[in-house]
Structures are given as C-alpha cells and as structure tokens.
Structure 1
Amino acid sequence: MLTVREAKYLSKKIMEAGEIPLLIGHFGVGKTDIAREIAQETQRKLIILVLSQMEPGDLIGLPARDENKTRFLAPDWWPEDGNTIILLDEINRAHRSIRNAIMQLLVDKRIHNHILPDGTWIMASMNPPDENYDQVELITDPAFLSRFFILEIHPDPNEWVEWAKRNHIEEEVIDFISKYPEFLSVHETVSLKASIKPSPRSWHKLSRVLSLMSEDDKKEYLYILASGIVGPEAAKVFIDKTITGQLNTPSEILIEGKIPESLDIHQANGLLIRLVDYLTTVDDKELEKLSNNVDTIALNLIRLSNVVPKDSFEAFIRMLVNLSNLPGLKGEFSDKLLRKLVSQSNN
C-alpha cells in the first residue's frame, strides 16, 4: 500500500514515461486530489471524466453526416493541446457500452478519428473491488489490467491529519484520529495485483518507467512499480534474483530470521512493503505454516524493528491491526501475531 504522497510521486513518474497509473483507494482517500496537484504543479489542464455518470455519446462524441459518410464529432471534453491530464474516474463502473471506447483511448490514444494531442497524460482511478461495487468484469480482465501500473493507496494517519488541518476539519475529529489512527480506515479489500500476470508488454512498460528513476527511487519503489505491472510473484523474483543480490524472501525473513544487520531507509521501506504485500496476499496453505511458527515470527519482527525506521515499522503494525479484523485464517493469524508481539515486547 502507498501513502498519498508516494502515489502522487509515482503517478507523475509513470505519466512522464508515457504510461498510465491506476489509483485504487476508498472514497475520500485523495485520488482526485493527486490528479489536481500534479496538474497544478506541471501547469497542465485537468479533465475529469466520471465514467459511471457518462452516456456513450458523452465519451465518444455524436455522429454527423459528412457528404456520403458518417463521422463522429469530437466530444466536448476533448483536449485542445497536449498540455493536459485526463483522469478516467470510476473506471471500474463504466457502462458496458463505453468499455470498447475506453480501451481504444488507452491503447491507441484515440477515439474514432480523433487522436489525442502529443504529450497528453492519462491516469485512472477507482474504488477497490468489494461487495459494495458491481461491474467487476472489466477490472479482472488481464487485457485491461495490463494497460496500467496499479497503485493501491491506503491513507497515512499523519498525512491525513495534516490534510485535515488545512481543510478545517473539526478539532475533535483530528484529535481522535491522532490518538487512534487505526480508526482512520479499515483495509478489507482484495488486491487487484494478484490478477496481474507478466507479459512482454508489461516488462517493456516497467523498463520505460525505470529509465526515469534514480537508484534511490528504485531501492524504495521498485517492488511497488513492478508488482503493479508484472504482478507480485514476478516482481518478487525480479527483485530477489536480479536487483538486490539474493535478498531474502519474506518467508525467510519471518520464519528463518534472515534479517540484514543494517539497511538504509530505502531498503528498509522496500523490505517492509514486500512483507505487507506477502501477508496481505498469502494463501491459506502458507498461513497454516506461518501460524505454526507465530512465536518465532514475533521474535524476528522485534529484531527487524531494530533495523528499520520506527515510523515505517509502526505503519507495518497498523497493517497487521487491519488484517486482524478480517474473517478467517488471515484475521486469526494476524490477531495471534499481534498478541505475541505485545507479550514478547514486554518481556
């Protein structure tokens, strides 16, 4: 999961490379604000298309007769120049009748005979898939997902408090969230990254974005970017075997205690992100193995807390708290692990 600040930074890098970020987060997490801030900072015009509220004619334009042929007029939102960002909002709730037009825009940067001006940036956003939203076919289609870098956003309590102060949120609310950050939101959704599979196209897209990133950026964000375009499994192997020189797997860190003696801040954050993704997406068979080693895992996490930044480890613990609220084996394991962490920390 990314904070709003991290998602904004990576979205800009992705669009600079000519690719398309897909921001996933619950209502109010700041997806639209990210687009507005990037547009303001790059002096671009922002066009927001709320796809769930659009009819086909609103998106693709209306037909007109041109001598003996039919052509489509440009829709009224069509950008005048390339100094523009187009935000496709609520893309998972688009009506079936305009899905083909969305794909044409994503793939060919055009709709009918109208081609987007060179330099136009496109980004998309949606709420996470859960029982409250229908229209799930589009977001589980591999051909659709392969067009995006998926960036999943989870609100950071410190970021939210700063935003709340700027936006005149009542002091009682700010004070409560400051003291009890676990109540800011509950993370109960299933990650879309599990549906992503690597392809020649996705590796090419990843390469284009990486070419614009510094070595420090790669250390901190490489796993997030890679898992959002080639999938978590391929991303883990890519990093473990190629980038970090045989960096230990999450299972080796948690169960076998293979923890580096020292990490710089980028390596530490990258490692914790991999652990979060692993615990969020782990299957029941692997969970049984973890549950049988919960005492060892708690001890190894305490050791890990000594080599990673305090605030990063606190964010990791908040993730465990959220997972502990889930039904089933994952919630039971997370709750059991939290209890072990508390008891062993007090010893």
Structure 2
Amino acid sequence: MRATVSVTPVQLPEVLLHLAVVRPVFLWGSPGIGKSSLVRAFAESLGLECVTLLGTQLAPEDLIGVPELVGGRSRFAPPETIARDEPYCLFLDELNASSPEVQKAFYSLILDRRIGTYELPAGSVVIGAGNRATDGALARPMPSALVNRMVHLHLEASAKDWLEWAGGAGVHGWVLDYLTQRPDHLWSPPPKVEEPFSTPRAWHMLSDALHSYGDDIGEDLLGVLAFGTLTAAHASAFKAYVKTVRHAYGLEAVLRGDARWPHAPADRDLLYFLAEAFRARLVKQLPHDKAHASPAGRQLAHRGKALLLELAELSLEIAQMVIAADDDGNPVLPTWFLVEVTRDLPRLVAART
C-alpha cells in the first residue's frame, strides 16, 4: 500500500472521530511509530473499551466461533471477546499479517458489523492497523474486497508531535534533549537485516532503560542500551551527546570560543557528534539568501568558516561532512555560504600560518 497523503499523530484523533464512527478505518504505518497506542488513546477518549485482536494469532474460528444447537438448529456462537452487550472499539491489529482465511472471516464484521446473528452494539467502532510490505515486516496482500471495505490512512512519524507527548510522559531528559537537537533521528527506515532501528517506540524503550539504571550509568553499559535499541549511527551519536552533557562540553561553547573541537582520539565520537550538530545549526539558521541574513546569521556564517578550518585541521573527512550535499547531490547549506567558504578558506589558512 503506497502512501499518497499521510496524517500525523496529532491529526489522527480528529480524523478518526469523523471517520471511525461511520466507517471502518485501516491505519498503515511503519513498526514502532505508535499505531496501537494511538488507537487505544482514541478509544479511551470516547469512553470505549479497546478490544485488541492480533491477526497473526487468530484462526477463523476465533472470529466466527463454534457451532451450537439452539431449538434443534445449529448456529455459530461468536467468542465472548467479540460478542459484547456494550459498545466498544474493536482494534484489528496486524490485520494484513493474518492468513487469507482469517482475512475472509473479517469481511462481514468489517463491512456489516456482524458475525452470524451477532451485531456489534450501536456506537462501536472498528479500526484495523498493519505494517506495509516495504517496511520489511510480515504483511500479506489483502484481497481487493477487504481493501474496499475500509477507509485507509497512512500514519507518519512526527518529531514535533512525539516530543510534545514525551515532555509530559516522563521520557528521560537525555532522550528529550537529544531528539530536540536531532529530530531527524526519531525514525529510520527498517533495515533489510535483523538489527535494531530507531523508532518512537525504540527511543521510549531506551528512556525506560535509562530511568531504570539512573544517570550514573557507565559508558560501556550506556552503549549496550543504545546499540540494543537504535540504529548504530544514532546510538553512537547519542553516546557522544551524553558525553557532552556529563562534561559540559557542548556546541554552544565551541561557537562562543570558550572551547575547542575535541581532539583526543578517545573523543572521536564526540567530535563527530558536535560536527553533525554544527551542520544542523548552519542548515537551520543560515538563510537561503544572504541579503535576508540577520546580524546573528552573519555572525554565525563568519564564525562558521573559522570553525570549519579548525575542524579540517583535525579531520578533513568530518569537515567535508559538514558542507556535504544530500544523497541526491543537492547542496544542503546555502550556496552563498559555500561560495564564501571556498573563497575565504585560503585566506584564513594563510592568516593562521
């Protein structure tokens, strides 16, 4: 299922409020971005109990029930998990990972809100969810008849939404501060091999582990936790960030001139992290057009050229990473700044010499 238009976690409750009360909804999204928790929170907001059925753990008889004799005739008695007297939210998680027989068993429940003679109480809502085949997760093609029985929504991870939620959910301060600086590290595409990858759920797990150990956790053990939950690149950067916190060694101090780029071989990860943060700062604060640069922006550009020179003296590779183009070869930093870097660096080198 390809995503043409997506919704964010903040937009989802209102969309569900208008859609799920009239039609079944299917929520698509990558693993770990919060589909299940958002559905449960939506049901709670309506005062409905959320009954979750996992498609990968169901057989057809778990839905249609078993036959029983009533008045000399047989009928199927649906399980009590589904057959309830009060309205509720029926959440069909991993629906598209279930077997074809189970998917067929959902037909009448999704479209007609009925199984045999049992009908969902008025006011009930039906919401399905699943991962996409492109996410590397277990996913089977859904028959067109089933696809056509639901309204399809694509959920995308939003760092802004997640950070607003995390601020009131007790997420560890290191995780909050790091993702505030690097919101692009909240989510990463699922890898093609069996290894951890960054998602909102993964960051939340790391937060819980940090709370359990406490802030005096050793550097080696911190690495075990970070590399056990995040992508290797994000885990390495997070470890370096924690080092800056513990040693009060941040980018602001480098920009002010109160500290220099770390140069010890043992601090190579710290140097890389600060350089990435430096690149992100330049991208965020330098205007596309120099004519629109504020005094602070001009000062950052001037200081940035000097810092690039100092960084190149320590590691030409890391300095090139700061000004590198994106994966498609397009400049990330403003063109005028790159031109000035090319023009002024020889002069700065000569002055330092």
Q: Aligned runs of 1:223-262 on 2, under 5 Å?
A: none
Where 1:336 maps in the other structure, the secondary structure is coil
TM superposition shift of 1:188: 7.1
Q: Which residue of 1 aligns with 2:122?
A: 118
Q: Which residue of 2 aligns with 1:154?
A: 156
Shift in CA distance, 31/134, structure 1 to aligned 2, threshold 3 Å: closer
Structure 2 residue 69 is matched with structure 1 residue 65:
yes
TM-score, normalized by length of structure 1? 0.52
CA–CA distance in structure 2, aligned partners of residues 131 and 43 of structure 1: 33
CA–CA distance in structure 2, aligned partners of residues 80 and 345 of structure 1: 65
Kept after mapping to 2: 8 A contact 1:21/1:151: yes
Structure 2 residue 58 is matched with structure 1 residue 54:
yes
Shift in CA distance, 180/122, structure 1 to aligned 2, threshold 3 Å: same
Where 1:92 maps in the other structure, the secondary structure is helix
CA radius of gyration, larger in: 2
Structure 2 residue 184 is matched with structure 1 residue 182:
yes
Larger RCO (alpha carbons 8 Å, 6+ apart) = 1
More displaced stretch, 25-34 vs 152-161: 25-34
Where 2:102 maps in the other structure, the secondary structure is helix
CA–CA distance in structure 2, aligned partners of residues 338 and 153 of structure 1: 28
More displaced stretch, 23-32 vs 5-14: 23-32
Q: Aligned runs of 1:284-323 on 2, under 5 Å?
A: none
CA–CA distance in structure 2, aligned partners of residues 69 and 157 of structure 1: 57
Shift in CA distance, 68/186, structure 1 to aligned 2, threshold 3 Å: same
Shift in CA distance, 182/335, structure 1 to aligned 2, threshold 3 Å: same
CA–CA distance in structure 1, aligned partners of residues 189 and 330 of structure 2: 16
Kept after mapping to 2: 8 A contact 1:47/1:84: yes
Match for 1:14: what amino acid? L
Structure 2 residue 133 is matched with structure 1 residue 129:
yes
Shift in CA distance, 131/118, structure 1 to aligned 2, threshold 3 Å: closer
TM superposition shift of 1:109: 1.3
Where 1:5 maps in the other structure, the secondary structure is coil
CA–CA distance in structure 2, aligned partners of residues 82 and 70 of structure 1: 26
Structure 2 residue 5 is matched with structure 1 residue 3:
no
Q: Aligned runs of 1:87-102 on 2, under 5 Å?
A: 87-102=91-106
User: How many pairs align?
Assistant: 204
Structure 2 residue 79 is matched with structure 1 residue 75:
yes
TM superposition shift of 1:344: 6.4
CA–CA distance in structure 1, aligned partners of residues 65 and 154 of structure 2: 32
Match for 2:186: what amino acid? L
Match for 1:136: what amino acid? R
CA–CA distance in structure 1, aligned partners of residues 16 and 336 of structure 2: 40
Match for 2:10: what amino acid? R
RMSD: 2.9
TM superposition shift of 1:155: 1.5
Q: Deviations over 1:248-298 (max 9, x none)?
A: xxxxxxxxxxxxxxxxxxxxxxxxxxxxxxxxxxxxxxxxxxxxxxxxxxx
Where 1:339 maps in the other structure, the secondary structure is coil
Match for 1:2: what amino acid? V
TM superposition shift of 1:78: 2.1
CA–CA distance in structure 1, aligned partners of residues 132 and 106 of structure 2: 19
Identity %: 23
Q: Deviations over 1:172-226 (max 9, x none)?
A: 222221111111112579xxxxxxxxxxxxxxxxxxxxxxxxxxxxxxxxxxxxx
TM superposition shift of 1:345: 8.0
Q: Which residue of 2 aligns with 1:166?
A: 168
Shift in CA distance, 334/110, structure 1 to aligned 2, threshold 3 Å: farther
Where 2:14 maps in the other structure, the secondary structure is helix
CA–CA distance in structure 1, aligned partners of residues 337 and 190 of structure 2: 27
Structure 2 residue 341 is matched with structure 1 residue 339:
no
TM-score, normalized by length of structure 2? 0.51
Name the structure with the higher helix share: 1
CA–CA distance in structure 1, aligned partners of residues 58 and 68 of structure 2: 20
Segments ≥4 residues shifted beyond 6 Å:
344-347
